[in-house]
Amino acid sequence: MDTNLAHTLQRVGRAFRLPGPFFSSEEINRGNINTTYRVNYISENEEGVAYIKPYLFQKVNTYAFRHPTELMDNIDKITEYIRTRCPDRTTLHFHHVERDGRRLSYFDDPTLGFWRVVNYVPSVTYDVCDDPAVIRSAGEAFGDFQTILKDFDPSLLHETIPGFHDTRRRYEALRQAAKEDKAGRAAEVREELDYLFSIEDEACRLLDLYEEGKLPLRVTHNDTKINNVLFDEHEPRALVVIDLDTVMPGLVGNDFGDAIRFAANFTEEDSPDISHTGLDLNVFWAFTEGFLSRTADTLTPTEIDTLGLSCFALTVELAVRFLADYLAGDPYFKIKYPSHNFDRTRCQIALSRDMQNKRDAMDSIVRACAAKYRRG
Ligand code: GN1
Ligand code: MG
């Protein structure tokens, strides 16, 4: 193991006063922004028998999250609220450090960076999955998240990334990145730029409806990839929704659309081979069924009518973000190889095209599920 890294992790562990000697660590592939490690400590049970106790350490990317203490404040409030409302649910427990007589759920160090430590939940996650039972359960989990927080006052939350799902603003950033062409890549991506600008109005329609006062603001998760749901190891049962970094006021379509964009794609979101990329309607159906079984009663008719549109909007928005990052020389998303952000862009574009072709079917499924689960 990288001794520097082991050293850093041990210092972080000491700050959080984790008991027992440090044993080992491994990086976990979770997310494109923060860096996550599973860190094992040696602990002892009541009979004095040693066992390995794992924790999750996360280094927060302060380039993406400029105000990490506000982000942790949001997370503290949300997890506390969920714990009080649903004491029997699996929840995330953040460990604390003592600083100047205060308990803080993070460790901020000028050289080591901004860290948090959370309990390790034995579980599995899915990057790609077409098992309807798993998908439906993910839909229920994100639907529950929405419903549990429906009376949470959104004004208590900081906007961790301003304009996060402001599609127009994302388009402006793309325009700017293409103009500046910092990495000298604009010529190579002309076709993708032209396509994205040709669908700008349709991609921004969800936002327009909000600005016209036709869609309400709710508390949303804003990063509803299915791998942000931890599942039971033995059965297709969602345990807990994780990655609360972007919980903010938002539109229900942000959560629904982003979840579909990720889970219902035949390929992974960064597949370099897009010949099979497209929307799997069976997965779409299973997720919609799970999501609406929990939310059909609370959503307005316009929210329901725009769920299909939200999938297109969120897919295009992410294509716009990936392409802007590629043009700027990849400062934001972690990349594994030089054209990674471009492959991600092409994959999201291919998916958005297929969604346009399948829109009628998507809307019919949404209507059928809403009618099935609406009680009022
Ligand atoms: C980022 O880091 P991760 O994987 O949780 C991004 C999301 C994107 C996603 C695409 C804070 O999420 O908005 O949809 O990558 N998060 C942030 O995979 O920008
Ligand atoms: Mg995230």
CA of 31, nearest ligand number: 1
Contact criterion met (CB below 8 Å) for 350 and 267: no
- Return the exposure string of 140-169: e unless at least 16 CB atoms fall within 10 Å of the residue's CB, then b: bbbbbbbebbeebeeeebeebbeebbbbeb
Mapping DSSP onto H, E and C, the string for 113-158 reads: EEEEEEECCCCECCCCCCCHHHHHHHHHHHHHHHHHCCCCCHHHCC
CATH code for 132-373? 3.90.1200.10
CA 118 to centroid of ligand 2, rounded, Å: 15
CB 50 within 8 A of CB 43: yes
How much distance in Å is there from the Cα of 34 to the middle of ligand 1? 9
* 188 Cβ contact list (under 8 Å, min separation 6): 342
pTM of the model: 0.94
Closest Cα to atom 1, ligand 1: which residue?
32
The set of protein residues with a Cβ atom below 6 angstroms from ligand 1 is 31-33, 64, 223, 243, 245-246, 269, 318
Rounded CA-CA distance 97/251 in Å is 34
Atom 18 of ligand 1: nearest residue by CA position: 32
Asked if 246 and 160 count as a contact pair (C-beta separation under 8 A), the reply is yes
Return the ligand number nearest the Cα of 29.
1
Domain positions in the chain are 3-119, 132-373
Nearest residue (CA) to ligand 1, atom 14: 223
Classify 216 as helix, strand or coil.
coil
Strands 35-44 and 22-28: antiparallel
d(CA 111, CA 53): 27
Q: Write the class of the CATH domain 3-119.
A: alpha beta
3-class secondary structure, 192: helix
Residue from 226, 193, 128, 223 nearest 345 by CA: 193
The amino acid at 338: P
| Number of other CB atoms surrounding residue 176 within 10 Å | 12
Inter-axis angle of helices 252-263 and 281-295, nearest 10: 150
CB count, 10 Å around CB of 10? 16
Which ligand sits closest to the CA of 161? 1
Please state the atom number of ligand 1 nearest to the C-alpha of residue 243.
5
Q: How far is the CA of 30 from the centre of ligand 2 (A)?
A: 9
Q: What is the pLDDT along the chain (376 residues), one digit of tens a residue?
A: 677 999 999 999 999 999 989 999 999 987 899 999 999 999 998 998 999 999 999 999 999 999 999 999 999 999 999 999 999 999 899 999 999 899 999 999 999 999 999 999 999 999 889 999 999 999 999 999 999 999 999 889 999 999 999 999 999 999 999 999 999 999 999 999 999 999 999 999 999 999 999 999 999 999 999 999 999 999 999 999 999 999 999 999 999 999 999 999 999 999 999 999 999 999 999 999 999 999 999 999 999 999 999 999 999 999 999 999 999 999 999 999 999 999 999 999 999 999 999 999 999 999 999 999 998 6
Q: How far is CA 12 from the centre of its chain?
A: 25
Ligand 1 centroid–CA 336 distance in Å is: 15
Task: Provide the pairing of β-strand 97-99 with 102-104.
Answer: antiparallel
| C-alpha of residue 46 to centroid of ligand 1, in Å | 41
Angle at 168 between CA 165 and CA 174, to 5 degrees: 100
CA-proximal residue: ligand 1, atom 17 (nearest): 33
Pocket probe mutation, ligand 1, options 34, 62, 225, 340, max atoms within 8 Å of Cβ: 225
Ligand 1 atom with least separation from CA of 334: 2
Of ligand 1's listed atoms, the one at least distance from the Cα of 246 is 11
- Rounded to the nearest angstrom, the distance between the alpha carbon of 59 and the centre of ligand 1 is 15
Tokens of 142: 């994100």
